A and B are shown apart, each in its own frame.
Chain A
């Protein structure tokens, strides 16, 4: 038996996107939380917790795009042209946010608030655009042959707008728990206080999406609510409840790393819930990873590199996080 290339590639891309969501998730989350923090010193500290790593975090998004083109060129073509407008908005959001990392420290006092706003607005726009794209992806696309045939605004639905807002909450949770891990004192207390309502918002959002999706899509309902699958899949929503409950508990007892770990768990559960709903389609509602797969020569060639190189990437990424480990102190310690 040979290697099942489309499945392996779906796993790799799934892994890459998850890395992106987790890692850029917490630095976008910091942009989302920025307006909730007034002190300039605290804002500097927040940005400093991610400044050495954001560039690497964003590279996972480039990997997602590039591997999709390499392994599922048809999906890349259809999805990206269908999501043209939200993706352009996402990219402009990421541009504002990315340069604000550099520019806000180089601007004088008069221009700084502008780049703080750019950092926050860029994060909001990029996150909502990603969430909207996700919602549109779940809803599916009109495809004939190898190309997208729907309209320019098919992505815009009440459901996709809701997922756009829901992703804000999810990234904010990653951001606030990351800051609990990386900061101390007043800023950390502020983040603990914020994490409580954010957790509840995430929980409600997950609930709404879990009900709304199967109501809209019979296929997805069938996957979740038929025996014996129901029995195997039930742990996913149950674990979501347990993780949320644990989060609210640990917030009461001088937390450090625990909230971030729980936020990661919540996110992974949500992610796997989506994967269960959509598998094996790469262009919902009905184009599978096999139908959209690149020629085996393309998938195989790239697979060798991916399997060999990704472990190294994970290695030196971990090393970089290790070099910049520990609490980021306001002014003094980091100055």
Chain B
């Protein structure tokens, strides 16, 4: 298809399926913890608004979770179907990590999800709270294992190569590999931020539509507090993560910065914009700030980082892609900090629920967290190339023996199915959000007294366009 090689098609297929997938667990991680907070506040303060918000968000959580499960199932098999040489080579390390993820996280989430979503009237309040906590704990444990595995592929250690395959010798070193703590903190914070932005945008959207209720205000208030605190934290974590990458994967940093070579004794500028050209080995149209690159990356005025030319051309990641994906992520991160500060300032002036420019900005920032997550993952994964296990196995050696025809056909199937199914699912989620937390009050009352209508589907029915709930 389009003259692409089997390797390129396999990479596109994996990139496509994993990019779609990551959206759902990111929201799952954030919403699960948010649900714990809401239920905890309800049990502690007995203020009805927390209970109502719990029921409202648990419906959106349910739709999102189902999509996360089925898109994640694909991932568990794709390592073998598309990257069989990688699996045979490195399965001794990545397999146990994945198995632990299933054992300690997936079952925990799945086992308690039914009760958390539909057991409100079937078990006592403490037991129900426990189930919600178990689901949230499951999402965090899951993130821990999968990021340990991914980080090991980025910064592998604790293994030997015997008979042409990886043999783990020290599991603590494998799991706590150099980039793992940074990546884990960065991803969990990203999931919390993305969810806070999503929740905040929902609240702001209703306020713009003059649905000014306590539940809507509470949503926006909690979300903007979260953004105010987590967005600046995330920038600090990201900075530390970047320094860690510079130490262990300098080629990735050089590619991110579009930095080709050093002049002795000269500082590294920060290229704000430019177009890195891989064949001409230069960054065109560069707009740069002197010394800032040194300052950020070495925390010194004249420090140097290796340029891309210091690496053999077959060992260089694609700078054109990661230069831009990184800037998208950072740019959005800055806007998140701005949103947090603006909302905090508006709160002080009692304008948080009234300032329409602020509310519009919050709505626009709704998907920003998810876009930043995708941009960040593109940066770190494309930046790892040409390696699948950094410095140990090349991606070209990892790919299965499928023909381009077969890969094109399966890619077409995935694109078609994902866009239809998940497109519909995402539209259902947005429609549920548009109904607002107060529309579901009746439903919440019903759930208090009766069994739910449908065990794994607490959401109110009919959110299809024909019913048009958005109509005012």
**When A294-B95, A324-B455 are in contact, do A66 and B102 touch as well, CB less than 8 Å?**
yes
Asked if B80 and A77 make an inter-chain contact with CB atoms under 8 angstroms apart, the answer reads yes
A275 at the interface (CB under 8 A from B): no
Asked if B123 and A323 make an inter-chain contact with CB atoms under 8 angstroms apart, the answer reads yes
Query: How many angstroms from the CA of A20 to the CA of B309 in the assembled complex?
Result: 52
Find chain A residues with CB under 8 A from B110 CB. Answer: 55-56, 58-59
Query: How many angstroms from the CA of A306 to the CA of B103 in the assembled complex?
Result: 7
Query: How many angstroms from the CA of A324 to the CA of B116 in the assembled complex?
Result: 12
Interface of B is mostly: helix
Closest to B69 in A: A55
**When A62-B102, A66-B98, A323-B115 are in contact, do A106 and B428 touch as well, CB less than 8 Å?**
yes
Asked if B76 and A65 make an inter-chain contact with CB atoms under 8 angstroms apart, the answer reads yes
Asked if A148 and B87 make an inter-chain contact with CB atoms under 8 angstroms apart, the answer reads no
Find chain B residues with CB under 8 A from A68 CB. Answer: 80, 95
Looking at the complex, which of A97-105, A186-194, A232-240, A263-271 is the stretch in contact with chain B?
A: A97-105
Closest to A111 in B: B464
Interface string of B293-337 (1 = CB under 8 A from A): 000000000000000000000000000000000000000000000
* Residues of chain B whose beta carbon lies under 8 Å from any beta carbon of chain A: 62-63, 65-67, 69-74, 76-77, 79-82, 84-85, 87-96, 98-104, 106-108, 110-115, 118-119, 122-123, 162, 165, 167-169, 171, 400-403, 406, 410, 413-414, 417, 421-422, 424-425, 428, 431-432, 450-457, 459, 461-464, 466-467
Query: How many angstroms from the CA of A95 to the CA of B413 in the assembled complex?
Result: 12
**When A70-B95, A295-B162 are in contact, do A102 and B103 touch as well, CB less than 8 Å?**
no
* Residues of chain A whose beta carbon lies under 8 Å from any beta carbon of chain B: 44, 47-48, 51-56, 58-59, 61-63, 65-71, 73-74, 76-81, 83-85, 87-89, 91-92, 94-96, 98-99, 101-103, 105-108, 110-111, 146-149, 152, 294-295, 297-298, 301-302, 305-306, 309-310, 313, 316-317, 319-320, 323-324, 333-335
**When A70-B99, A88-B413 are in contact, do A298 and B401 touch as well, CB less than 8 Å?**
no
Find chain A residues with CB under 8 A from B79 CB. Answer: 69, 76, 80
Known: A62-B72, A63-B103, A295-B168. 17 other contacts (CB 8 A): A58-B110, A59-B102, A67-B95, A73-B91, A77-B400, A80-B84, A84-B400, A99-B425, A105-B459, A106-B464, A111-B466, A152-B402, A295-B92, A295-B165, A309-B104, A310-B103, A324-B455
Find chain A residues with CB under 8 A from B114 CB. Answer: 52-53, 55-56, 320, 323-324
Find chain A residues with CB under 8 A from B104 CB. Answer: 305, 309
**When A69-B79, A149-B401 are in contact, do A99 and B111 touch as well, CB less than 8 Å?**
no
Interface residue from A55, A70, A95, A106 paired with B96 (Cβ < 8 Å): A70
Interface residue from B76, B406, B453 paired with A152 (Cβ < 8 Å): B406
Report the minimum CB–CB distance from B145 to chain A (whole Å). Answer: 10
Asked if A65 and B77 make an inter-chain contact with CB atoms under 8 angstroms apart, the answer reads yes
**When A84-B81, A152-B402, A302-B99 are in contact, do A320 and B115 touch as well, CB less than 8 Å?**
yes
**When A66-B99, A95-B71 are in contact, do A106 and B457 touch as well, CB less than 8 Å?**
yes
Report the minimum CB–CB distance from A127 to chain B (whole Å). Answer: 15
A selection of 6 A-B contacts at a CB cut-off of 8 Å is: A48-B454, A69-B99, A101-B66, A310-B103, A323-B114, A323-B122
